[in-house]
Structure 1
Amino acid sequence: MDGLREAERDGASSVTCLPLDARHGAATIWSRVAEQAGRWLTERGLQSRDAVLILPFAQHLAPARRAWMQQGRWLPRVETTHSLASALAPSGLAEALQITFDAAIDALSAKALLAQQSWAQALRRQDGRAFDLAVDRLVEAAQQLLRAAHQRAPQQREAFWAEARIAVQAETPGRFESALAQVALEWAASDARPAATDVLFDLRPSAWIVLQAGGADPLAQALLRRAAERGIPALALIADVALDEVAHAPALLEQALCEDFEDLAQCSAASVLAHLHAGRAPVALIAQDRVLLRRVRALLERRGVGLADETGWTLATSPAAAHLMSLLRACSAQASLDEWLALLKSEPCRQLRGHLDEQALPALEALCRKRGWRTPQSVRFDDLSEASLSLWRLARSAVRQFTEGPAERSLQDWLDGLKQLLQRLQADEPLLALDAGQALLDALWLQRQPWPGSAHEHMLLNTELDHAGFLAWIDQTLEAQQYLPPAPDQAQVIVTPLARAMLRPFGAIVLPGADAQLGAATAGPALISDRLATRLGLPSLQQRREASALAFAQLLRADALTLLRCTRQGSEPLAASPLLDRLSMALQQAGLAGMQVWSDPRAATEIAPRPQGRAAAQAPGRVPASLSASAIESLRDCPYQFFARVQLKLQDSPELEAELDKSDYGSWLHALLHRFHEQRGEQPDAELLTKLADELAKDLAPAEFLPYRSSFDRFAVRYLEWLAAHEAAGAQYEAGEQSRELQPWADASHALAPLVLRGRLDRIDRQADGSLLLIDYKTGSAARLKEKVARPPEDTQLAVYAALMRDAGAMLQAQYLALDDSSGIVAVNHAEVEQSAALLLNGLEQDLLAMEQGAPLPALGEGRACGFCEMRGLCRRDDWSEEAL
């Protein structure tokens, strides 16, 4: 028989190995499999209906069965190892502390095991993060070792564990790692229950036939060896093709070179659409990079392309998980107001919102931002509308019942409480309506119960966690669970990993990301070195690399293959995958045509430039009713900024979660100095200043305010020294935080008569000569302040304050007081401030009258104010043409 050869295995036993022709494409390879296997069975007088054909993946079952039916033969039992084992017998249940292959439950079991190790508990006390990392590595290694044992015949496992103990003891990269590896080994070896696939070793079909693609499967090889030992005919059909010995190439083999990430995504989507337009459906889209794939998927879905995703995504990234986590974060005692508002907007609270006015939540959020509330405890009920108050109280009441009770509870108690919380919020139905909602509830045991006596039940009942630990367990569980979205009935594009694309009859294959990452071996367990893996028969680094090369070589069976990659990553050049280099050399040695340059099917659209001129506005008759010093300064800096900020009243919505910055520090210093001067008495100044600083700091986030509070002692010494010298010169504090108003043009016949100037003066001192000194506290540098007053008529703030005080009946002086300059407390005087105030009012009157009559308010587009203007996007400063500049 053509190509048939006999290979002796295990002494007297034999397994027939039959290489399949590499020239067959994915559409015809299954006919070849059925033909060769059927001929082999016929020559030995074996009934195909009593034989078993084992395939690499479940996606191979349908094409293999169709090919057998087309041969007109009885079908053998066509299965994968796992589907056959599941059909023959149920899987054994993991008992307490046994490995479940559920990462979150196994992590709890690992912590329980390490609780018996003094060296591990010492690490837990010293470095909690290092301990958690050790737990992850322990679980990873134990699961890998147990999987390796299950891929061997039951009779060989004792020998495997004995060899593993010798090998692990010989591997000593470090005392801690060695101890962890031995715990992982003994944990895995203690699991004596039969593997789910052990039932396969007792099966006695008329023949075993295994299709090998992408490298040898240890379990399938073990089944063949066991069959040969028992005298059962065994056949291995080898569909692997060495990449360096390619003798066949797709009819269309092309490569696209892209400039960056977005170009790669767009070219990938365009390539898929081009294949579909040419009638090559379905198209396989190989999942190499999940971020890139999300972008490609979005581009294709815009064009109405039906996609089936075989890779899925973790439950933690699903909408249902996001809404559930928003609920749990709001249940924390440290929850911020932003997290509470996120909860009220989420799906779990949809039913609560449905019973109330739809404006209740927006009104509540607007009020929180306006008042600057940062924590749920700071919300004042007197300021809330009835609907907003009802929504707030309903949610707070539901969460309070969940959080009441002991700080640490069993995991089952936490889950029971979560179920009750969802019921109180009527959240089950909204969560189920979201993508992955049912999968999430099942993964967290919220709609089902673990089997009695199982490892899951044991850990749920016996693991004590606080709220943070429960939140971490939820997150770990969702991260470990994959969600596969339902596929459309007629999928035009199938998203699949590289390995699962082998031997499938796709019309075309598109592989984006064929750069240096393609073919790179994934890392193995950290506690199992490559040398140890080789000794134990686990996949080594070289074997994993070769498996990637074999899977890539299988893509050449497709009729059309498009490879896309970026040439650069940022400013650095990005090399092609070594697999592409090997493919190019193999094609050249075989005398085949090389890869074509991809022809971009995208149509270029020319967009005529539209230069933008300098922005300007007109607002006749819209002079504001009142102006502050900052509004007047805005008018002087840029009239268009004044138009947007003051007349249109546009402003950024304040952040609830904004971190403390220099402006918060400045506000704190203003409040501190005002209280200090108002309360000065017999108590020593230094003691009073420190006491007041501690009181005011309680209202701020301690961790964020720490850098500012730590420099307070130096500031206090400097300020008290400056104050002593200031008062020694005859100055005395008179008032602080004074709100003043002025109607500069109060004449009823004046067009600006109703306009009011308003301001709040930080501090007013009476000097020895009877004049008043206006002081404005600043936390900026003294150099900047000196620049401001170098040309007195150009300084706005102190001039406005002087104008507000012009009826005080005393001479006026003014100064900025730099509180945190590197050289200490620095006073920066504004010379002739009363003259500056008169000039300012005169100029302001002319500007406002012109504005009243419709004079344009142009965007100046220059100066320091333009660089930090929040209205820059409105005036389109960055889009102005050169003529407008």
Structure 2
Amino acid sequence: MTPANPPSESGLPALPGQEIEGGASDWSLLIETLSRALAERGLDAGSAVVLVPYAQLMDVGRRAWSTHHPDGFAPRFESSRNWAASLQPFMPGATDLSMDMARDSLVAAAFIDRVAPARADAELRSVMVVRLVEAARQLAPLAAAVPPEQRMAWAESVRLDLLPGPASLQWEGLVATLALTWASTSTYATDVLWSPQASPGAGAQALVILQGFQTDPLAAALVAHWGERALNLSWDVGQPSSAEASGRTLHACDDAEDEAQRAAACVIARINQGHQPVALVTIDRLLTRRVSALLHGAGVAVRDETGWKLSTTHAAAQLMSLLRAASPHASMDDVLDLLKQATRWSEETVLTLEQLAREAGVSQWRAAARTASLEHALPDGLSAILEGLQSPRGLVPWLDALAQALKAIGLWDALQRDAAGQQVLQVLRLEDGASRELSDIGETLPDPAAQRAAGRRSLAALTSWVRDVLEGATFMPHGTGDASVVILPMAQLLGRSFAAAVVPGCDEVHLNPSPEPPGSWTAAQRELLGLPSRETLAQAAASAWQALLCMPRLDVLWRTQELGEPVMPSAWVLALQAAHGRNGIDPRTPTTLVSAPSARPSPSAGDVLPGALSASAYQDLRDCPYRFFALRQLRLVDAPELAAEPDQRDMGNWLHAVLRAFHEQRGDSRPGAEADRAALDRIATETAAAMGLNAGEGGAGFLPYEVVWPATRDGYLEWLATFEARADRPGPRFVQAEAVMTANVGPWKLYGKLDRVDAQDSPEGPIPFVIDYKTESRKTTMDRLKEPLEDVQLAFYAALLPDDNLRAAYLSINDRPGSAATESATKLVEHTEVLEAREQLRAGVSHDMARVAAGHPMPALGEGRVCEFCKARGLCRKDFWSLA
């Protein structure tokens, strides 16, 4: 229950004024009390101004008065800002605290540049700007409650005691001092309420303050200013009746999604019962947005009185996509994200560029212009637009350039057609001539050294400023017609009538009976400045909760776990459970789904055959015919990822390229271990740079491979020395690497790329020695040849060669020795039965491909380890097969 003369936000007693005993639990009693008090003073109702705690109560109060007094003039129900705006329009000065992040961030940056030491780095400076704006805005209500001519004295009275003692808190002290100075030297829109225009007896004959759950410092100060002409009215929330208590329903939900769905169902159930409007009380803003989306999807009219950050809207995301794409370090994903939203280029152009970039593995936009396969696919004019946003300039030229870029890529019109987009253009001053307002700030700063905020800035600095401005603005969607659901904070239930209320998010994390005071002020500083203490905030929260309990119908929801961790309900909810709250039945209507398992697919496609068969394609056919059908005949393959960081596959390709260049340059010269080591290191560095895997392109992702490279290199050279210096006969000689070969098996064409082919001397002459590099685990490589005649890859490579005699082996290359003490980091695993395996493979290819060509079924086997990582699993629907 709010006292008749509650403490102000400062935590100090409210300023004196005439009090009216006996608050009102509804408008009827309050209107009666107000009309009686005015009559006792001999005042007409039309000569009084009633200040309400928040703007939504203005219309509610006017309707309540007209209901009880349909004849005669009504008091003026006003909020403090609305009353001030009706008396005089307000334009903030160049350095005033304006509550507009675009202006305030520039002024804050200028103040910090003027007084902070030069050693403050950019990141610290950015944090200090945000902290300064937040601190000044928290002090603004207190400063506005002091008459303008007394503000400097008020600030001086607390300045010395405000500074922290330890030297380690110098930055906190600097921000606090600057915030106090800024707040005390600013003018405010409500300053006109201290002027003769609004003086007692001139602007109105009586001022009535309708208190909220938490006293407004300005309202408390105006009570003292108006003296005997001021009246204080407070709401008596009262105690909920037994009927209201019986209308409470408690819902314990599984997780956040379950809570959102159940909250939306509760709202819809109340509407279907004819209880509207319904108040959807926002406690967890993210959860409330999810509930709102569900309600919109169900066709429910919703009015949101809280809004959400402008930075979370689609319009803001479109603007930020342009700034990210313009960065010199932009990834290909960043540019593609911009292209998919811009309207200048066709969808076909964007898809072609994306496909070619994925095929070429280009992850950085700056590398696209250097890639021959992408040169013809680059969108016309895009590079010039992005490069035009990279050179430093002043803020006003930046905003002009940003507006021109938005128009050039076709996003400007889309932003103008969207309500959130219009606000984005407005708050950033991107419309014609609007940026002049921000240039005036820099021109009127008192110290030229402080004008750095309006000076030349980089693209990164502009992006940071834009992000702060969008984060600091609130988007309020415009509702049309009467809404069945109103989203509002708990404190704004005061004085409003709703048929029902639904309150999701009532867990211990989001609904804390003792809320944390905002800002970084200490308890002593809060008391000194007059900011609300934790106790004051707790009292206001308890009063709001008590008002909520007076709702005739109430649904309270909370989640029992968050990310796998258990979550308790709020202490207030526990009190309801212990009293007379009842657990609610899930209002969602269950839907019975009839199980309809699919049959195991068994297609045939004899008229769709690949032009040539690779080792991996034939392996697919042997593993699972349906896999061959999907991946090889229909060619349904995943698009390559545009990952900026190297992965294991990139490292395998890099190692293959390094060894190819090493052996092609070395030939059969065998210069010695030191020369080979130096050559490998040089080639490894050059190859990594050419493939974009170095720190400039791949970031830190290549560092783990650079760390293990010395061990990998030394293990390979140790094996190579042993391989080339055999005791029984001369070792094999390198012939070629990455050899592309083809062969025919009946009517079927085979093709493949052999990592390396050596020549091994024998009594019958040199014979080929096929070597395939493997960077997988040693065990995996050894398992390939446990059943030699079952291995496909080496037998397939052998089938590409016409020689009657040959050798083949896997070369396992790792950075650590094998499990056996005698194993080195690199080990040759030879296929001892490769010739017999080759003949069996040729016969198998002829038989299997003939069956495919004849249209035989290609069933999905659905067995073995192959299914665990199969790319066609979503097509064969293995997880939905019938047991039969």
CA distance, structure 1, for counterparts of residue 224 and residue 576 of structure 2: 34
- Alignment match, 2:323: 328
CA distance, structure 2, for counterparts of residue 175 and residue 306 of structure 1: 50
SS at match of 1:208: strand
Residue 234 (structure 1) aligned with residue 230 (structure 2): yes
In structure 1, give the amino acid aligned to 2:529. L
- Alignment match, 1:725: 722
In structure 1, give the amino acid aligned to 2:561. R
Q: Normalization by structure 2: what TM-score?
A: 0.88
SS at match of 1:775: strand
The alignment covers a number of residue pairs equal to 835
- Alignment match, 1:705: 702
Q: Is the 8 A contact 2:253 2:560 kept in 1?
A: yes
SS at match of 1:742: strand
- Alignment match, 1:496: 488
Residue 446 (structure 1) aligned with residue 443 (structure 2): no
CA distance, structure 1, for counterparts of residue 851 and residue 424 of structure 2: 64
Aligned partner of 1:476 among 464, 468, 473: 468
Distance 1:147 1:11, change over 3 A: closer
Distance 1:319 1:395, change over 3 A: same
Distance 1:179 1:380, change over 3 A: closer
CA distance, structure 2, for counterparts of residue 454 and residue 214 of structure 1: 40
**How far has the Cα of 1:46 moved from its partner?**
1.9
Q: Is the 8 A contact 1:258 1:264 kept in 2?
A: yes
Residue 370 (structure 1) aligned with residue 359 (structure 2): yes
**How far has the Cα of 1:177 moved from its partner?**
4.8
SS at match of 1:539: coil
Residue 540 (structure 1) aligned with residue 541 (structure 2): no
RMSD, aligned CA: 3.0
Q: Is the 8 A contact 1:58 1:80 kept in 2?
A: yes
In structure 1, give the amino acid aligned to 2:142. A
Aligned partner of 2:381 among 394, 409, 422: 394
- Alignment match, 1:680: 666
CA distance, structure 2, for counterparts of residue 472 and residue 12 of structure 1: 43
Aligned partner of 2:45 among 31, 36, 48: 48
Deviation string, structure 1 residues 48-78 (Cα, Å, up to 9, x no partner): 2111101011111112111222223421121
- For residues 512-531 of structure 1, what are the structure 2 equivalents within 5 Å? 512-516=504-508, 517-520=510-513, 522-531=515-524
**How far has the Cα of 1:740 moved from its partner?**
0.9
- Alignment match, 1:486: 478
Aligned partner of 1:67 among 58, 64, 67: 64
- Alignment match, 2:205: 206
In structure 2, give the amino acid aligned to 1:785. T
Residue 135 (structure 1) aligned with residue 129 (structure 2): yes
CA distance, structure 2, for counterparts of residue 767 and residue 255 of structure 1: 81
CA distance, structure 2, for counterparts of residue 180 and residue 872 of structure 1: 61
- Alignment match, 2:81: 82
Aligned partner of 1:419 among 371, 380, 403: 403
Q: Is the 8 A contact 2:102 2:427 kept in 1?
A: no
Q: Is the 8 A contact 1:6 1:14 kept in 2?
A: no
Residue 187 (structure 1) aligned with residue 174 (structure 2): no
SS at match of 2:861: coil
Q: Is the 8 A contact 2:798 2:838 kept in 1?
A: yes
Deviation string, structure 1 residues 477-517 (Cα, Å, up to 9, x no partner): 11111111111122221112222232212222111112212
CA distance, structure 2, for counterparts of residue 451 and residue 685 of structure 1: 67
Distance 1:171 1:282, change over 3 A: farther
Deviation string, structure 1 residues 770-824 (Cα, Å, up to 9, x no partner): 232110011112221111111101211111001111x135x21111111224111
Distance 1:5 1:197, change over 3 A: closer
Q: Is the 8 A contact 2:135 2:176 kept in 1?
A: no
Q: Which moved more, 1:418-427 or 1:729-738?
A: 418-427
Aligned partner of 2:259 among 261, 264, 272: 264
Q: Is the 8 A contact 2:252 2:559 kept in 1?
A: yes
Aligned partner of 2:112 among 114, 135, 139: 114
Residue 625 (structure 1) aligned with residue 611 (structure 2): yes
**How far has the Cα of 1:81 moved from its partner?**
0.9
In structure 1, give the amino acid aligned to 2:405. L
Residue 342 (structure 1) aligned with residue 337 (structure 2): yes
**How far has the Cα of 1:211 moved from its partner?**
1.0
Deviation string, structure 1 residues 186-213 (Cα, Å, up to 9, x no partner): 5336x42443223223421321111112
Q: Is the 8 A contact 1:641 1:859 kept in 2?
A: yes
Deviation string, structure 1 residues 295-333 (Cα, Å, up to 9, x no partner): 222222222111111222222111111111111222122
Q: Is the 8 A contact 1:776 1:817 kept in 2?
A: yes
Distance 1:135 1:219, change over 3 A: same
Distance 1:167 1:133, change over 3 A: same
Distance 1:850 1:606, change over 3 A: same
Runs of 5+ unmatched residues, structure 2? 445-450, 818-824
CA distance, structure 2, for counterparts of residue 626 and residue 215 of structure 1: 79
**How far has the Cα of 1:5 moved from its partner?**
11
Distance 1:620 1:178, change over 3 A: closer
In structure 2, give the amino acid aligned to 1:802. A
- Alignment match, 1:566: 559
Q: Is the 8 A contact 1:779 1:821 kept in 2?
A: no
Residue 408 (structure 1) aligned with residue 399 (structure 2): no
CA distance, structure 2, for counterparts of residue 780 and residue 506 of structure 1: 66
CA distance, structure 1, for counterparts of residue 439 and residue 348 of structure 2: 51
In structure 2, give the amino acid aligned to 1:417. A
**How far has the Cα of 1:416 moved from its partner?**
1.6
CA distance, structure 1, for counterparts of residue 302 and residue 769 of structure 2: 74
- Alignment match, 2:280: 285
- Alignment match, 1:303: 298
Aligned partner of 1:778 among 771, 774, 779: 774
Deviation string, structure 1 residues 551-587 (Cα, Å, up to 9, x no partner): 22222343322212223334443222222344567xx
- Alignment match, 2:850: 849
Distance 1:538 1:156, change over 3 A: farther
Distance 1:880 1:60, change over 3 A: same
CA distance, structure 2, for counterparts of residue 48 and residue 460 of structure 1: 54
Aligned partner of 1:165 among 156, 159, 168: 159
SS at match of 2:496: coil
Deviation string, structure 1 residues 336-380 (Cα, Å, up to 9, x no partner): 22222222221xx31x23xx6x53332332232233333334357
Distance 1:133 1:520, change over 3 A: farther
Runs of 5+ unmatched residues, structure 1? 23-28, 589-593, 746-752
Q: Normalization by structure 1: what TM-score?
A: 0.88
CA distance, structure 2, for counterparts of residue 213 and residue 248 of structure 1: 25
CA distance, structure 1, for counterparts of residue 385 and residue 153 of structure 2: 57
**How far has the Cα of 1:156 moved from its partner?**
5.4
SS at match of 2:65: helix
In structure 1, give the amino acid aligned to 2:189. A
In structure 1, give the amino acid aligned to 2:848. D
SS at match of 1:437: helix
Q: Which moved more, 1:475-484 or 1:610-619?
A: 610-619
SS at match of 1:831: coil
In structure 2, give the amino acid aligned to 1:139. V
In structure 1, give the amino acid aligned to 2:211. Q
Residue 608 (structure 1) aligned with residue 594 (structure 2): yes
Q: Is the 8 A contact 1:782 1:821 kept in 2?
A: no
CA distance, structure 1, for counterparts of residue 443 and residue 473 of structure 2: 18
Residue 57 (structure 1) aligned with residue 51 (structure 2): no
